[in-house]
């Protein structure tokens, strides 16, 4: 027909023919190339995003409440921590927690970080730690968070770092109770507080609370202070020096009977200043811990009172909360079903403030006090 051009049929076997599947320009080839390129890009992108995201070890997270639990102690030179150590396996069993043998950091904050890392390297699914230094412990807490391992802090709250719960008594109340007891039993004069380590929030809370309470409520008392870092030798030597310069001291507040009781009584005895309650020249003494040795000293009249820090409850609820944390359970501020109150600290951390009663000669034989249930 005029005006129409007749085209010769293409040869499908010709490699240059676009319809030939062997031709790189074939639509199937081009689509496949684009698909491969896009897949490669997606993989590369996911790798970059993974590298830029959380470093949490997901294999360690979400143990469902099961798995090994590491328990790190601050020291074992105090009868209080010896008692806590004895309670740990008993309370772990009662709470259904598979706790490893406890590790003693021996009063060394750096060693405590190493101990935490060692426990994490053993594959623990939870940690219960009694921090030595409220600031230094952050390095260990960060390492645990990177591994996806929850931590419960016992006795001392960290300044920073993530913990599922702090199990602790109200340490501000410790200082206030000691202040009130001495203020009500001493009309005027000098009192000394043998302080703990001020690198620990416990030492700071007790010291500041005692000092503020005396200033506000008992201005007739003059406070002298001994920073003793939870060290018995330091307490003994500094108390000896202080008594030489101030033989008229009327009262003593010991922030840790577990480490300060024996050296304090020995120092007073060496100066012939250890008089029983009711005798002329008796120095009123209030302590913290609630160990059996303090109870015996109260019965003898060597000291007057102590605040019972609950070693048994520390162990029990340390295990309770770590099991809950491993199962993904969370808590809110408010009263608990075990006679305590959960509060939110300024750092945002939750703290279960367990009861810590004042013990005097009137209630020292109460069988409910943990200090009367241990050898």
8 Å CB contact between 159 and 141: no
Model confidence at 48, pLDDT cuts 50, 70, 90, reads very low
Over residues 190-210, the pLDDT tens digits come to: 999 999 999 999 999 999 999
Mapping DSSP onto H, E and C, the string for the chain reads CCCCCCCCCCCCCCCCCCCCCCCCCCHHHHHHHHHHHHHHHHHHHHHHHHHHCCCCCCCCCCCCCCCEEEEEECCCCCHHHHHHHHHHHHHHHHHCCEECCCEECCCCHHHHHHHHHHHHHCCCCEEEECCCCCCCCHHHHHHHHHCCCCEEEECCCCCCCCCCEEEEECHHHHHHHHHHHHHHHCCCEEEEEEECCCCCHHHHHHHHHHHHHHHHHCCCEEEEEEECCCCHHHHHHHHHHHHHHCCCEEEEEECCHHHHHHHHHHHHHHCCCCCCCCCCCCCEEEEEECCHHHHHHHHHCCCCEEEECCHHHHHHHHHHHHHHHHCCCCCCCEECCCCCEEEECCCCCEEEEECCCEECCCCCCCCCCHHHCCC
Percent of the chain with pLDDT over 70: 83
Average pLDDT, the chain: 87
Res. 323: pLDDT tops 60: yes
Over residues 85-112, the pLDDT tens digits come to: 999 999 999 999 999 999 999 999 999 9
Model confidence at 57, pLDDT cuts 50, 70, 90, reads very low
pTM for this model (two decimals): 0.80
Domains and CATH numbers, the chain: 68-169+311-355 (3.40.50.2300), 171-308 (3.40.50.2300)
pLDDT at 63: 55
pLDDT at 152: 98
pLDDT at 374: 86
Half-sphere CA count of 100, side-chain side, radius 13 A? 22
């Amino acid at each position: 027909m005029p005006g129409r051009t007749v085209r010769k049929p293409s040869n499908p076997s010709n490699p240059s023919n676009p319809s030939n599947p062997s031709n790189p320009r074939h639509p199937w080839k081009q689509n496949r190339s684009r698909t491969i390129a896009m897949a490669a890009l997606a993989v590369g992108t996911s790798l970059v995003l993974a590298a830029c995201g959380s470093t949490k070890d997901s294999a360690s997270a979400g143990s469902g409440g099961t798995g090994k639990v590491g328990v790190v102690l601050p020291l074992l030179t105090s009868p209080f921590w010896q008692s806590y150590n004895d309670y740990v396996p008993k309370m772990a069993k009662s709470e259904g927690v598979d706790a490893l043998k406890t590790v003693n950091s021996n009063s060394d904050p750096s060693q405590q970080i190493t101990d935490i890392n060692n426990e994490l390297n053993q594959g623990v699914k939870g940690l219960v730690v009694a921090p030595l230094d409220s600031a230094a412990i952050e390095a260990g807490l960060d390492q645990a968070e990177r591994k996806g391992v929850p931590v419960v802090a016992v006795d001392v709250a960290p300044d920073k770092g993530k913990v599922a719960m702090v199990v602790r008594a109200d340490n501000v109340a410790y200082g206030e109770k000691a202040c009130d007891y001495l203020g009500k039993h001493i009309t005027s004069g000098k009192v000394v507080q043998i302080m703990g380590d001020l690198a620990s929030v416990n030492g700071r809370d007790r010291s500041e609370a005692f000092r503020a309470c005396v200033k506000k409520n008992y201005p007739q008392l003059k406070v002298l202070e001994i920073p003793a870092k939870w060290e018995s030798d330091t307490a003994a030597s500094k108390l000896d020096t202080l008594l030489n310069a101030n033989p008229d001291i009327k009262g003593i507040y010991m922030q840790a009977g577990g480490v300060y009781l024996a050296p304090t009584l020995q120092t007073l005895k060496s100066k012939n200043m250890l008089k029983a309650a009711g005798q002329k020249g008796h120095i009123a003494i209030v302590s913290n811990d609630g160990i059996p040795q303090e109870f015996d000293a109260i019965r003898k009249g060597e000291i007057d009172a102590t605040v019972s820090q609950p070693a048994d409850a520390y162990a029990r609820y340390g295990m309770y909360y770590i099991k809950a944390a491993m199962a993904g359970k969370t808590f809110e501020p408010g009263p608990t079903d075990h006679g305590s109150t959960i509060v939110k600290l300024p750092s945002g951390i939750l703290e279960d403030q367990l009861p810590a009663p004042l013990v005097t000669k009137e209630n020292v034989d109460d069988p409910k006090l943990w200090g009367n249930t241990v050898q």
